[in-house]
Structure 1
Amino acid sequence: MMTNPFLFIFFLLLSFFSSPAQSPRFKVAAFYSTKGEMDHVDFARDGLYFFDLIAAQQQFTFDATTDWTNLNDNYLANYDVVIWLNDFPQTDDQRKAFERFIGRGGAWLGCHVSAFNLPDSKWKWFNEFLGGAYFHSNNWPPLPAKVVVDDRSHPVTKRLPASYDSPTGEWYQWTPSPRENKDVKVLMSLSKESYPLGVKTIIKDGDTPVVWTNTRYKMLYMNMGHGNKIFSSQDQNNMITDGLLWLGGAERMEVKK
Protein backbone atom coordinates (compact mmCIF):
# COMPACT_ATOMS: atom_id res chain seq x y z
CA MET A 1 0.00 0.00 0.00
CA MET A 2 1.38 3.38 -1.03
CA THR A 3 1.57 5.66 2.01
CA ASN A 4 3.51 8.59 0.57
CA PRO A 5 0.93 11.05 -0.84
CA PHE A 6 3.53 12.76 -3.04
CA LEU A 7 4.42 9.46 -4.72
CA PHE A 8 0.74 8.73 -5.19
CA ILE A 9 0.20 12.07 -6.94
CA PHE A 10 3.35 11.54 -9.02
CA PHE A 11 2.21 8.15 -10.31
CA LEU A 12 -1.31 9.44 -10.92
CA LEU A 13 0.03 12.27 -13.07
CA LEU A 14 2.43 9.90 -14.85
CA SER A 15 -0.45 7.59 -15.69
CA PHE A 16 -2.51 10.51 -16.99
CA PHE A 17 0.14 11.98 -19.26
CA SER A 18 1.42 8.64 -20.53
CA SER A 19 -2.02 7.35 -21.56
CA PRO A 20 -2.36 7.29 -25.34
CA ALA A 21 -4.30 10.15 -26.88
CA GLN A 22 -7.54 9.20 -28.57
CA SER A 23 -7.02 8.94 -32.31
CA PRO A 24 -9.23 11.10 -34.51
CA ARG A 25 -11.88 9.18 -36.39
CA PHE A 26 -10.98 10.94 -39.63
CA LYS A 27 -9.22 14.09 -40.81
CA VAL A 28 -10.68 17.05 -42.68
CA ALA A 29 -9.08 19.94 -44.54
CA ALA A 30 -11.13 22.94 -45.66
CA PHE A 31 -9.98 25.21 -48.48
CA TYR A 32 -11.43 28.70 -48.69
CA SER A 33 -10.79 32.26 -49.81
CA THR A 34 -11.01 35.60 -48.03
CA LYS A 35 -11.46 37.38 -51.35
CA GLY A 36 -14.35 37.61 -53.76
CA GLU A 37 -18.06 38.01 -53.12
CA MET A 38 -18.61 39.05 -49.51
CA ASP A 39 -21.56 36.70 -49.02
CA HIS A 40 -19.27 33.80 -49.93
CA VAL A 41 -16.60 35.04 -47.53
CA ASP A 42 -19.18 35.40 -44.75
CA PHE A 43 -20.31 31.83 -45.30
CA ALA A 44 -16.72 30.56 -45.18
CA ARG A 45 -16.08 32.33 -41.88
CA ASP A 46 -19.24 30.88 -40.38
CA GLY A 47 -18.30 27.49 -41.80
CA LEU A 48 -14.91 27.53 -40.12
CA TYR A 49 -16.58 28.07 -36.75
CA PHE A 50 -19.24 25.43 -37.39
CA PHE A 51 -16.88 22.69 -38.58
CA ASP A 52 -14.40 23.41 -35.82
CA LEU A 53 -17.21 23.01 -33.29
CA ILE A 54 -18.50 19.70 -34.62
CA ALA A 55 -14.91 18.42 -35.01
CA ALA A 56 -14.53 18.68 -31.23
CA GLN A 57 -17.91 17.05 -30.66
CA GLN A 58 -17.50 14.25 -33.18
CA GLN A 59 -13.78 13.56 -32.65
CA PHE A 60 -12.27 14.33 -36.03
CA THR A 61 -9.53 16.79 -36.88
CA PHE A 62 -10.34 19.96 -38.79
CA ASP A 63 -7.75 22.16 -40.47
CA ALA A 64 -8.34 25.07 -42.82
CA THR A 65 -6.20 26.93 -45.32
CA THR A 66 -6.49 29.81 -47.76
CA ASP A 67 -3.39 28.56 -49.60
CA TRP A 68 -4.70 26.61 -52.56
CA THR A 69 -1.19 25.52 -53.49
CA ASN A 70 -1.73 23.09 -50.59
CA LEU A 71 -3.94 21.21 -53.02
CA ASN A 72 -1.01 18.90 -53.71
CA ASP A 73 -0.23 15.23 -53.10
CA ASN A 74 1.89 15.73 -49.98
CA TYR A 75 -0.63 17.92 -48.17
CA LEU A 76 -3.69 15.92 -49.19
CA ALA A 77 -2.06 12.67 -48.04
CA ASN A 78 -2.75 13.81 -44.46
CA TYR A 79 -6.53 14.00 -44.91
CA ASP A 80 -9.58 11.85 -45.58
CA VAL A 81 -12.05 14.59 -46.52
CA VAL A 82 -11.57 17.89 -48.34
CA ILE A 83 -14.10 20.73 -48.13
CA TRP A 84 -14.27 23.57 -50.62
CA LEU A 85 -16.11 26.34 -48.82
CA ASN A 86 -16.20 29.20 -51.32
CA ASP A 87 -13.71 28.65 -54.12
CA PHE A 88 -12.14 26.04 -56.39
CA PRO A 89 -8.65 25.24 -57.75
CA GLN A 90 -7.20 27.63 -60.29
CA THR A 91 -4.26 25.73 -61.77
CA ASP A 92 -3.83 22.44 -63.62
CA ASP A 93 -1.46 21.17 -60.92
CA GLN A 94 -4.09 21.76 -58.22
CA ARG A 95 -6.81 20.13 -60.31
CA LYS A 96 -4.73 17.05 -61.07
CA ALA A 97 -3.76 16.68 -57.39
CA PHE A 98 -7.44 16.76 -56.46
CA GLU A 99 -8.25 14.14 -59.09
CA ARG A 100 -5.55 11.88 -57.66
CA PHE A 101 -6.87 12.45 -54.13
CA ILE A 102 -10.35 11.36 -55.22
CA GLY A 103 -8.87 8.45 -57.17
CA ARG A 104 -7.16 7.20 -53.99
CA GLY A 105 -10.50 7.13 -52.19
CA GLY A 106 -10.53 10.64 -50.74
CA ALA A 107 -13.85 12.38 -50.10
CA TRP A 108 -15.13 15.84 -51.04
CA LEU A 109 -17.77 18.19 -49.65
CA GLY A 110 -18.47 21.05 -52.03
CA CYS A 111 -20.45 24.14 -51.04
CA HIS A 112 -22.37 26.48 -53.34
CA VAL A 113 -19.98 28.34 -55.68
CA SER A 114 -17.28 25.67 -55.38
CA ALA A 115 -19.12 23.65 -58.05
CA PHE A 116 -19.64 26.56 -60.45
CA ASN A 117 -18.73 25.47 -63.96
CA LEU A 118 -19.86 26.30 -67.48
CA PRO A 119 -19.91 24.33 -70.76
CA ASP A 120 -16.73 26.07 -71.91
CA SER A 121 -14.86 25.03 -68.75
CA LYS A 122 -11.54 23.32 -69.46
CA TRP A 123 -11.85 20.98 -66.46
CA LYS A 124 -14.07 18.33 -68.04
CA TRP A 125 -13.23 15.77 -65.33
CA PHE A 126 -14.82 17.98 -62.69
CA ASN A 127 -18.02 18.30 -64.68
CA GLU A 128 -18.19 14.50 -64.93
CA PHE A 129 -17.45 14.32 -61.19
CA LEU A 130 -20.51 16.52 -60.53
CA GLY A 131 -22.66 14.24 -62.64
CA GLY A 132 -22.56 16.32 -65.80
CA ALA A 133 -24.22 19.39 -64.29
CA TYR A 134 -23.36 22.84 -65.63
CA PHE A 135 -24.52 26.08 -64.04
CA HIS A 136 -27.63 27.30 -65.86
CA SER A 137 -29.34 30.03 -63.82
CA ASN A 138 -29.88 31.42 -60.33
CA ASN A 139 -32.31 33.50 -58.34
CA TRP A 140 -31.55 37.07 -57.26
CA PRO A 141 -31.67 38.53 -54.70
CA PRO A 142 -30.85 35.73 -52.24
CA LEU A 143 -34.00 34.35 -50.67
CA PRO A 144 -35.09 31.58 -48.32
CA ALA A 145 -36.72 28.60 -50.00
CA LYS A 146 -38.64 25.50 -49.08
CA VAL A 147 -36.65 22.36 -49.82
CA VAL A 148 -37.96 18.79 -50.00
CA VAL A 149 -36.01 15.69 -49.05
CA ASP A 150 -35.98 13.21 -51.92
CA ASP A 151 -34.62 10.33 -49.83
CA ARG A 152 -35.02 10.36 -46.06
CA SER A 153 -33.35 6.96 -45.68
CA HIS A 154 -29.91 8.16 -46.75
CA PRO A 155 -27.33 8.76 -43.98
CA VAL A 156 -27.03 12.42 -45.01
CA THR A 157 -30.76 13.14 -44.68
CA LYS A 158 -31.95 10.62 -42.11
CA ARG A 159 -32.58 13.28 -39.42
CA LEU A 160 -34.53 15.61 -41.70
CA PRO A 161 -38.26 16.13 -41.96
CA ALA A 162 -39.97 15.65 -45.33
CA SER A 163 -39.35 19.34 -46.03
CA TYR A 164 -38.07 22.45 -44.28
CA ASP A 165 -37.53 26.13 -44.94
CA SER A 166 -33.89 26.67 -45.81
CA PRO A 167 -32.44 30.05 -44.79
CA THR A 168 -31.69 32.83 -47.23
CA GLY A 169 -29.38 31.74 -50.01
CA GLU A 170 -28.65 32.01 -53.71
CA TRP A 171 -30.03 28.95 -55.48
CA TYR A 172 -28.46 27.45 -58.58
CA GLN A 173 -30.27 25.57 -61.31
CA TRP A 174 -28.24 23.18 -63.45
CA THR A 175 -28.32 21.86 -66.99
CA PRO A 176 -28.74 19.07 -67.56
CA SER A 177 -30.25 18.31 -64.19
CA PRO A 178 -27.87 16.00 -62.32
CA ARG A 179 -30.93 13.81 -61.70
CA GLU A 180 -30.70 12.67 -65.32
CA ASN A 181 -27.39 10.93 -64.58
CA LYS A 182 -27.96 7.31 -63.52
CA ASP A 183 -24.99 7.51 -61.13
CA VAL A 184 -26.32 10.56 -59.28
CA LYS A 185 -28.40 10.26 -56.13
CA VAL A 186 -30.37 13.47 -55.55
CA LEU A 187 -31.03 13.89 -51.83
CA MET A 188 -32.77 17.29 -51.69
CA SER A 189 -34.46 19.64 -54.15
CA LEU A 190 -36.27 22.96 -54.25
CA SER A 191 -39.95 22.51 -53.53
CA LYS A 192 -42.34 23.42 -56.33
CA GLU A 193 -43.93 25.73 -53.77
CA SER A 194 -40.82 27.94 -53.91
CA TYR A 195 -41.42 28.93 -57.57
CA PRO A 196 -41.20 31.53 -58.88
CA LEU A 197 -38.07 32.29 -56.87
CA GLY A 198 -36.37 35.66 -57.23
CA VAL A 199 -37.04 39.26 -58.24
CA LYS A 200 -34.31 40.51 -60.56
CA THR A 201 -33.37 37.00 -61.69
CA ILE A 202 -36.06 34.38 -61.34
CA ILE A 203 -36.09 30.59 -61.28
CA LYS A 204 -39.56 30.08 -62.68
CA ASP A 205 -39.95 26.31 -62.52
CA GLY A 206 -38.22 23.03 -63.30
CA ASP A 207 -36.11 20.51 -61.46
CA THR A 208 -33.65 22.09 -59.02
CA PRO A 209 -31.60 19.57 -57.02
CA VAL A 210 -29.77 21.28 -54.15
CA VAL A 211 -27.97 18.35 -52.48
CA TRP A 212 -26.68 15.29 -54.32
CA THR A 213 -23.93 12.71 -54.57
CA ASN A 214 -22.35 11.05 -57.59
CA THR A 215 -22.31 7.46 -56.38
CA ARG A 216 -19.15 6.69 -58.34
CA TYR A 217 -17.16 8.81 -55.90
CA LYS A 218 -17.04 9.83 -52.25
CA MET A 219 -18.56 13.21 -52.83
CA LEU A 220 -21.41 15.41 -51.68
CA TYR A 221 -22.46 18.73 -53.15
CA MET A 222 -24.76 21.16 -51.38
CA ASN A 223 -26.09 24.37 -52.91
CA MET A 224 -26.04 26.02 -49.47
CA GLY A 225 -23.15 28.45 -49.01
CA HIS A 226 -24.20 32.03 -49.72
CA GLY A 227 -24.40 34.54 -46.88
CA ASN A 228 -24.40 34.47 -43.09
CA LYS A 229 -27.73 32.70 -42.51
CA ILE A 230 -26.79 29.21 -43.71
CA PHE A 231 -26.16 27.80 -40.23
CA SER A 232 -29.28 29.33 -38.68
CA SER A 233 -31.42 26.23 -39.31
CA GLN A 234 -31.05 23.23 -37.03
CA ASP A 235 -32.40 20.91 -39.70
CA GLN A 236 -29.83 22.18 -42.17
CA ASN A 237 -27.05 21.93 -39.58
CA ASN A 238 -28.02 18.31 -38.99
CA MET A 239 -27.78 17.61 -42.72
CA ILE A 240 -24.35 19.25 -43.01
CA THR A 241 -23.06 17.42 -39.94
CA ASP A 242 -24.38 14.04 -41.08
CA GLY A 243 -23.06 14.66 -44.59
CA LEU A 244 -19.54 15.24 -43.35
CA LEU A 245 -19.65 12.23 -41.04
CA TRP A 246 -20.91 10.07 -43.92
CA LEU A 247 -18.01 11.21 -46.08
CA GLY A 248 -15.62 10.46 -43.21
CA GLY A 249 -17.09 6.99 -42.75
CA ALA A 250 -18.15 7.64 -39.16
CA GLU A 251 -21.39 7.34 -37.22
CA ARG A 252 -22.70 10.37 -35.34
CA MET A 253 -21.79 10.43 -31.65
CA GLU A 254 -24.36 11.74 -29.20
CA VAL A 255 -23.27 15.07 -27.74
CA LYS A 256 -23.51 15.36 -23.97
CA LYS A 257 -25.40 18.45 -22.85
Structure 2
Amino acid sequence: MIRPLLILVAAFLFHAVCIAQPEFKVLAFYSTKVEQDHQDFSKDVRAFYTKLADDRNFTFDVTKDWTNLNDTLLKNYQVVMWINDFPHTEQQRRSFEKYMDNGGGWIGFHVSGYNDKTTGWPWFVDFMGGAVFYTNNWPPQPARLIVDDTTHAITKGIPPALASPTNEWYQWKPSPRANKNVKVLLTLDPMNYPLGIKDIITGGDTPVVWTNTRYRMIYMNMGHGDAVMSDALQNKMIANSLLWIGKGKPVTINAVKK
Protein backbone atom coordinates (compact mmCIF):
# COMPACT_ATOMS: atom_id res chain seq x y z
CA MET A 1 0.00 0.00 0.00
CA ILE A 2 3.00 2.30 0.44
CA ARG A 3 3.97 2.40 -3.25
CA PRO A 4 0.53 3.50 -4.56
CA LEU A 5 0.48 6.17 -1.86
CA LEU A 6 3.90 7.44 -2.94
CA ILE A 7 2.76 7.53 -6.55
CA LEU A 8 -0.32 9.50 -5.53
CA VAL A 9 1.75 11.98 -3.52
CA ALA A 10 4.23 12.39 -6.39
CA ALA A 11 1.41 13.02 -8.87
CA PHE A 12 -0.11 15.61 -6.55
CA LEU A 13 3.21 17.41 -6.12
CA PHE A 14 3.83 17.38 -9.88
CA HIS A 15 0.38 18.85 -10.46
CA ALA A 16 0.99 21.53 -7.83
CA VAL A 17 4.31 22.51 -9.42
CA CYS A 18 2.67 22.76 -12.86
CA ILE A 19 -0.03 25.04 -11.49
CA ALA A 20 2.56 27.24 -9.78
CA GLN A 21 4.47 27.86 -13.03
CA PRO A 22 3.36 31.14 -14.64
CA GLU A 23 1.92 30.84 -18.14
CA PHE A 24 4.11 33.69 -19.36
CA LYS A 25 6.21 36.56 -18.04
CA VAL A 26 5.77 40.27 -18.75
CA LEU A 27 8.28 43.06 -18.23
CA ALA A 28 6.48 46.42 -18.19
CA PHE A 29 8.41 49.67 -18.59
CA TYR A 30 7.12 53.04 -17.40
CA SER A 31 8.49 56.50 -16.62
CA THR A 32 7.84 59.02 -13.88
CA LYS A 33 9.45 61.99 -15.65
CA VAL A 34 6.60 62.39 -18.09
CA GLU A 35 3.43 64.47 -18.12
CA GLN A 36 1.06 63.90 -15.22
CA ASP A 37 -1.73 62.41 -17.31
CA HIS A 38 0.65 59.71 -18.53
CA GLN A 39 1.77 59.02 -14.97
CA ASP A 40 -1.86 58.70 -13.87
CA PHE A 41 -2.57 56.14 -16.58
CA SER A 42 0.59 54.24 -15.68
CA LYS A 43 -0.48 53.92 -12.05
CA ASP A 44 -3.95 52.68 -12.99
CA VAL A 45 -2.91 50.19 -15.66
CA ARG A 46 -0.11 48.74 -13.51
CA ALA A 47 -2.61 48.08 -10.72
CA PHE A 48 -5.02 46.53 -13.23
CA TYR A 49 -2.44 44.15 -14.69
CA THR A 50 -1.03 43.24 -11.28
CA LYS A 51 -4.45 41.96 -10.26
CA LEU A 52 -4.98 40.26 -13.61
CA ALA A 53 -1.63 38.48 -13.21
CA ASP A 54 -2.78 37.02 -9.89
CA ASP A 55 -6.10 35.95 -11.39
CA ARG A 56 -4.71 34.51 -14.64
CA ASN A 57 -1.39 33.03 -13.50
CA PHE A 58 1.24 35.09 -15.27
CA THR A 59 4.17 37.15 -14.01
CA PHE A 60 3.92 40.93 -14.26
CA ASP A 61 7.21 42.65 -13.43
CA VAL A 62 7.51 46.43 -13.68
CA THR A 63 10.50 48.73 -13.96
CA LYS A 64 11.16 52.42 -14.54
CA ASP A 65 14.80 51.69 -15.37
CA TRP A 66 14.92 51.62 -19.17
CA THR A 67 18.47 50.27 -19.16
CA ASN A 68 16.72 46.97 -18.37
CA LEU A 69 15.69 46.96 -22.02
CA ASN A 70 18.74 44.85 -22.86
CA ASP A 71 19.50 41.48 -24.44
CA THR A 72 20.36 39.77 -21.16
CA LEU A 73 17.14 40.61 -19.34
CA LEU A 74 14.68 40.44 -22.23
CA LYS A 75 15.43 36.79 -22.94
CA ASN A 76 13.67 35.94 -19.65
CA TYR A 77 10.33 37.43 -20.76
CA GLN A 78 7.71 36.52 -23.34
CA VAL A 79 6.19 40.03 -23.42
CA VAL A 80 7.57 43.55 -23.16
CA MET A 81 5.14 46.36 -22.36
CA TRP A 82 5.70 50.09 -22.82
CA ILE A 83 3.18 51.95 -20.70
CA ASN A 84 3.94 55.66 -21.04
CA ASP A 85 7.33 56.06 -22.72
CA PHE A 86 9.71 54.52 -25.27
CA PRO A 87 13.46 53.79 -25.63
CA HIS A 88 15.73 56.81 -25.74
CA THR A 89 19.10 55.22 -26.54
CA GLU A 90 20.44 53.29 -29.52
CA GLN A 91 21.37 50.32 -27.33
CA GLN A 92 17.81 50.04 -26.03
CA ARG A 93 16.44 50.31 -29.56
CA ARG A 94 18.74 47.62 -30.93
CA SER A 95 17.91 45.24 -28.08
CA PHE A 96 14.20 45.72 -28.68
CA GLU A 97 14.59 45.15 -32.43
CA LYS A 98 16.46 41.91 -31.82
CA TYR A 99 13.89 40.78 -29.25
CA MET A 100 10.95 41.36 -31.57
CA ASP A 101 12.65 40.00 -34.69
CA ASN A 102 13.24 36.79 -32.78
CA GLY A 103 9.60 36.28 -31.79
CA GLY A 104 9.16 38.38 -28.65
CA GLY A 105 5.83 39.96 -27.75
CA TRP A 106 5.00 43.65 -27.30
CA ILE A 107 2.06 45.72 -26.15
CA GLY A 108 2.31 49.50 -26.25
CA PHE A 109 -0.03 52.23 -25.09
CA HIS A 110 -0.60 55.77 -26.35
CA VAL A 111 2.65 57.77 -26.33
CA SER A 112 4.76 54.59 -26.49
CA GLY A 113 3.95 54.46 -30.21
CA TYR A 114 4.68 58.11 -30.88
CA ASN A 115 7.07 58.88 -33.70
CA ASP A 116 7.56 61.82 -36.06
CA LYS A 117 10.11 63.17 -38.54
CA THR A 118 12.60 63.83 -35.71
CA THR A 119 12.47 60.33 -34.17
CA GLY A 120 15.09 58.81 -36.45
CA TRP A 121 14.03 55.19 -35.98
CA PRO A 122 12.88 53.79 -39.35
CA TRP A 123 12.66 50.23 -37.98
CA PHE A 124 10.05 51.34 -35.47
CA VAL A 125 8.04 53.21 -38.10
CA ASP A 126 7.90 49.98 -40.10
CA PHE A 127 7.06 48.04 -36.93
CA MET A 128 4.10 50.38 -36.39
CA GLY A 129 2.90 49.61 -39.90
CA GLY A 130 4.33 52.77 -41.44
CA ALA A 131 2.23 54.96 -39.14
CA VAL A 132 3.73 58.37 -38.34
CA PHE A 133 2.09 60.79 -35.90
CA TYR A 134 0.14 63.47 -37.73
CA THR A 135 -2.22 65.22 -35.32
CA ASN A 136 -4.31 64.85 -32.17
CA ASN A 137 -7.38 66.25 -30.47
CA TRP A 138 -7.12 68.59 -27.49
CA PRO A 139 -8.35 68.64 -24.82
CA PRO A 140 -8.79 64.91 -24.17
CA GLN A 141 -12.32 63.72 -24.84
CA PRO A 142 -14.35 60.51 -24.80
CA ALA A 143 -15.07 59.00 -28.20
CA ARG A 144 -17.20 56.37 -29.89
CA LEU A 145 -15.12 53.53 -31.34
CA ILE A 146 -16.03 51.06 -34.05
CA VAL A 147 -14.79 47.47 -33.74
CA ASP A 148 -13.41 46.46 -37.14
CA ASP A 149 -13.27 42.74 -36.30
CA THR A 150 -15.54 41.38 -33.57
CA THR A 151 -14.14 37.84 -34.02
CA HIS A 152 -10.55 38.61 -33.00
CA ALA A 153 -9.32 37.35 -29.61
CA ILE A 154 -8.74 40.93 -28.44
CA THR A 155 -12.28 42.08 -29.25
CA LYS A 156 -13.97 38.90 -28.07
CA GLY A 157 -17.03 39.87 -26.02
CA ILE A 158 -16.86 43.50 -27.20
CA PRO A 159 -19.88 44.94 -29.06
CA PRO A 160 -19.54 46.35 -32.60
CA ALA A 161 -19.26 49.86 -31.16
CA LEU A 162 -18.40 51.21 -27.72
CA ALA A 163 -18.01 54.48 -25.84
CA SER A 164 -14.37 54.89 -24.85
CA PRO A 165 -13.51 57.09 -21.83
CA THR A 166 -11.68 60.41 -22.04
CA ASN A 167 -8.40 60.14 -23.93
CA GLU A 168 -6.14 62.12 -26.23
CA TRP A 169 -6.53 60.51 -29.65
CA TYR A 170 -3.70 60.35 -32.19
CA GLN A 171 -4.15 60.35 -35.94
CA TRP A 172 -1.47 58.91 -38.21
CA LYS A 173 -0.27 59.56 -41.76
CA PRO A 174 -0.13 57.33 -43.58
CA SER A 175 -2.88 55.41 -41.84
CA PRO A 176 -1.58 52.03 -40.69
CA ARG A 177 -4.58 50.52 -42.49
CA ALA A 178 -2.79 51.18 -45.79
CA ASN A 179 -0.13 48.60 -44.84
CA LYS A 180 -0.98 45.09 -46.05
CA ASN A 181 0.61 43.58 -42.91
CA VAL A 182 -1.58 45.58 -40.51
CA LYS A 183 -4.85 44.39 -39.07
CA VAL A 184 -6.87 47.25 -37.60
CA LEU A 185 -9.11 46.20 -34.71
CA LEU A 186 -10.71 49.49 -33.60
CA THR A 187 -11.22 52.84 -35.28
CA LEU A 188 -12.57 56.23 -34.28
CA ASP A 189 -16.16 56.44 -35.48
CA PRO A 190 -16.41 59.28 -38.08
CA MET A 191 -19.41 60.56 -36.14
CA ASN A 192 -16.87 61.92 -33.60
CA TYR A 193 -15.61 64.54 -36.07
CA PRO A 194 -14.81 67.32 -35.52
CA LEU A 195 -13.07 66.01 -32.39
CA GLY A 196 -11.38 68.58 -30.15
CA ILE A 197 -11.56 72.24 -29.22
CA LYS A 198 -8.03 73.67 -29.34
CA ASP A 199 -6.55 70.93 -31.54
CA ILE A 200 -9.16 69.33 -33.77
CA ILE A 201 -9.24 66.08 -35.74
CA THR A 202 -11.49 67.16 -38.56
CA GLY A 203 -11.90 63.86 -40.39
CA GLY A 204 -10.10 60.95 -42.01
CA ASP A 205 -9.24 57.40 -41.04
CA THR A 206 -8.11 57.09 -37.40
CA PRO A 207 -7.29 53.53 -36.28
CA VAL A 208 -6.72 53.36 -32.52
CA VAL A 209 -5.91 49.66 -31.97
CA TRP A 210 -3.99 47.50 -34.44
CA THR A 211 -1.44 44.76 -34.88
CA ASN A 212 1.37 44.39 -37.41
CA THR A 213 0.89 40.73 -38.32
CA ARG A 214 4.61 40.27 -39.03
CA TYR A 215 5.17 40.53 -35.29
CA ARG A 216 3.58 39.45 -32.03
CA MET A 217 2.47 42.95 -31.11
CA ILE A 218 -0.50 45.17 -30.35
CA TYR A 219 -0.68 48.95 -30.17
CA MET A 220 -3.46 50.69 -28.23
CA ASN A 221 -3.87 54.46 -28.43
CA MET A 222 -5.58 54.58 -25.03
CA GLY A 223 -3.30 55.86 -22.27
CA HIS A 224 -3.86 59.51 -21.39
CA GLY A 225 -5.27 60.40 -17.97
CA ASP A 226 -6.97 58.75 -15.03
CA ALA A 227 -10.25 57.90 -16.80
CA VAL A 228 -8.89 55.34 -19.28
CA MET A 229 -9.29 52.36 -16.93
CA SER A 230 -12.77 53.38 -15.80
CA ASP A 231 -14.78 51.41 -18.36
CA ALA A 232 -15.43 47.68 -17.92
CA LEU A 233 -15.76 46.93 -21.64
CA GLN A 234 -12.54 48.69 -22.54
CA ASN A 235 -10.77 47.04 -19.60
CA LYS A 236 -11.87 43.66 -20.93
CA MET A 237 -10.22 44.48 -24.24
CA ILE A 238 -7.07 45.68 -22.49
CA ALA A 239 -6.95 42.40 -20.58
CA ASN A 240 -7.61 40.37 -23.73
CA SER A 241 -4.75 42.15 -25.49
CA LEU A 242 -2.10 41.09 -23.02
CA LEU A 243 -3.44 37.56 -22.71
CA TRP A 244 -3.44 37.23 -26.52
CA ILE A 245 0.16 38.42 -26.81
CA GLY A 246 1.32 36.39 -23.82
CA LYS A 247 -0.19 33.11 -24.96
CA GLY A 248 0.36 33.62 -28.66
CA LYS A 249 2.73 31.59 -30.77
CA PRO A 250 5.93 33.28 -31.96
CA VAL A 251 5.72 34.89 -35.39
CA THR A 252 8.25 33.92 -38.03
CA ILE A 253 10.08 37.01 -39.25
CA ASN A 254 11.42 37.07 -42.80
CA ALA A 255 14.71 38.73 -41.93
CA VAL A 256 15.99 38.09 -38.43
CA LYS A 257 18.73 40.42 -37.23
CA LYS A 258 21.95 38.71 -36.17
Deviation by residue 1:79-98 (Cα, 9 ceiling, x = unmatched): 00011000000000000000
- How far the C-alpha of 1:19 sits from its partner, in A, is 5.0
CA offset at residue 235 of structure 1? 0.8
- Structure 1 residue runs of 5 or longer lacking an equivalent are 2-11, 251-257
Separation of aligned partners in 1, 2:109 and 2:223: 5
- CA shift digits 1:105-153 (9 cap, x unpaired): 1000010000110023211100000000000000000000000100001
| Mapped partners of 1:68, 1:120: distance in 2 | 21
User: What is the aligned counterpart of 1:145 among 143, 148, 151?
Assistant: 143
> C-alpha deviations, 1:177-228, integer Å up to 9, x for none?
0000000000000001111110000001110000000000001000000001
**Paired position in structure 2 for 1:87:** 85
Q: Which amino acid aligns with 2:220?
A: M
**Residues 1:53 and 2:51 aligned together:** yes
Distance 1:88 1:238 in 2: 25
Q: Report the TM-score, using the length of structure 1 for normalisation.
A: 0.89
Deviation of the 1:22 alpha carbon:
1.6
- 3-state SS in 2 of match to 1:35: coil
Please tell me the residue identity of whatever aligns with 2:28: A
Structure 1: distance between partners of 2:119 and 2:141: 28
Alignment: residue pair count: 239
Structure 2 CA distance for aligned equivalents of residues 158 and 46 of structure 1: 23
Question: Which amino acid in the other structure matches residue 140 of structure 1?
Answer: W
Instruction: Name 1:255's counterpart in structure 2.
Output: none
1:99 to 97, 103, 114: 97
Q: Percent identity?
A: 55
* 1:147-162 equivalences in 2 (<5 Å): 147-162=145-160
Q: 1:209 to 1:155 in 2, by over 3 A?
A: same
1:55-112 CA-partner distances (Å, limit 9, x unpaired): 0111100000000000001110110001100000000000000001101210000100
> Corresponding residue for 1:64?
62
Give the equivalent residue in structure 2 for 1:32.
30
TM, length-normalised to structure 2: 0.89
**What is the RMSD of the two structures over their aligned residues, measured on CA atoms?**
1.8
Q: Please tell me whether residue 168 in structure 1 is matched to residue 171 in structure 2.
A: no
Letter in 2 for 1:114: S
Please list every run of 5 or more consecutive structure 2 residues that lacks an aligned counterpart in the other structure: 2-8, 249-258
